[in-house]
Amino acid sequence: MKGVGLDRRIGPLFLNAGAGFGGSCFPKDVSSLSVLAGRAGVDPKILRAVLEVNEEQPHRLVALLEKKAGNLSGKRIAVLGLAFKDNTDDVRDSRAIPVIRDLQKKGARVVAFDPMAGPNMQKIFPAIEYAGSAREALKGADGCLVMTEWPEFGRIDKEFDLMTHKIVIEGRRILSWKGAEGICW
């Protein structure tokens, strides 16, 4: 992807593998292009594949967490980042939504933090715990999923030492910290 990103027409900003894309525009635009291509008699295989992979990615992160942490029932799992992207409180089609749903189905105790989007996510998930900081969310956590590329998450370091088990599934490729034996990208 680094090589593809060198092409100025494409750029490197949104080519990292990870949690997938969300928001109100890009998913809708890709779906619309797929429908329009079908109506024009073109089989939009690549667009369908993009949408399918995007829907799978959050579930793959939870599966990876479960593989590393074992049964998630009763475990405290920190979810860092609730907005679909940083610098917004917009949770429309956020990749954190299917992650939280999966964690709830598996019986995990979800503790979520986002610098701006907590109140909006609380409308969707009123029963989960919302922390006032990443530090608070990580304290005593058995695992952590990083879902939004907030710059402050990229600077987390010692806060991971507050976790009971240092299992960090990094869905946005922003962490520079390498101290957890379970860190996954």
Residue 3 domain flag: no
4 vs 47, more confident: 47
Residue 184 domain flag: no
Residue 87 domain flag: yes
> Is 184 a residue of the active site?
no
16 vs 22, more confident: 22
Residue 162 domain flag: yes
The pTM is what? 0.87
Domain interval for residue 91:
56-170
Residue 63 domain flag: yes
Residue 27 domain flag: no
Number of helical (H) and strand (E) elements in the chain, helices listed first: 7, 5
Record the tokens describing residue 141, joined without a space.
């956590």
Average pLDDT of the residues in 45-71: 93
Residue 62's domain is classified under what CATH number?
A: 3.40.50.720
Average pLDDT of the residues in 33-58: 92
Q: pLDDT at position 61, please?
A: 95
Residue 62 domain flag: yes
pLDDT at position 183 over 90 = no
Q: What domain count does the chain have?
A: 1
Q: What value does the mean pLDDT of the chain take?
A: 89
181: pLDDT confidence band, cut at 50, 70 and 90? very low
Bridge partners, residue 130, by sequence:
112
pLDDT at position 158 over 80 = yes
pLDDT tens digit sequence for 100-137? 999 999 999 999 999 999 999 999 999 999 999 999 99
Options 4, 10, 15, 25, the catalytic residue: 25
Establish how many alpha carbons lie within 13 A of residue 176's alpha carbon, considering only the half-sphere containing its beta carbon.
Answer: 7
Residue 19 domain flag: no
pLDDT tens digit sequence for 79-96? 999 999 999 999 999 999
- Sort 107 into a burial class: Cβ within 10 Å, 0-12 / 13-18 / 19+: exposed
Cβ 149 vs Cβ 96: under 8 Å: no
Degrees, nearest 5: CA angle 87-90-93: 125
Cβ 128 vs Cβ 112: under 8 Å: yes
173: pLDDT confidence band, cut at 50, 70 and 90? confident
Considering 47-51, 109-113, 151-155, the range whose residues carry the highest mean pLDDT is 109-113
Give the sheet arrangement for strand 168-170, strand by strand.
129-130, 109-113, 76-80, 143-146, 168-170
Q: pLDDT at position 87, please?
A: 94
- Sort 7 into a burial class: Cβ within 10 Å, 0-12 / 13-18 / 19+: exposed
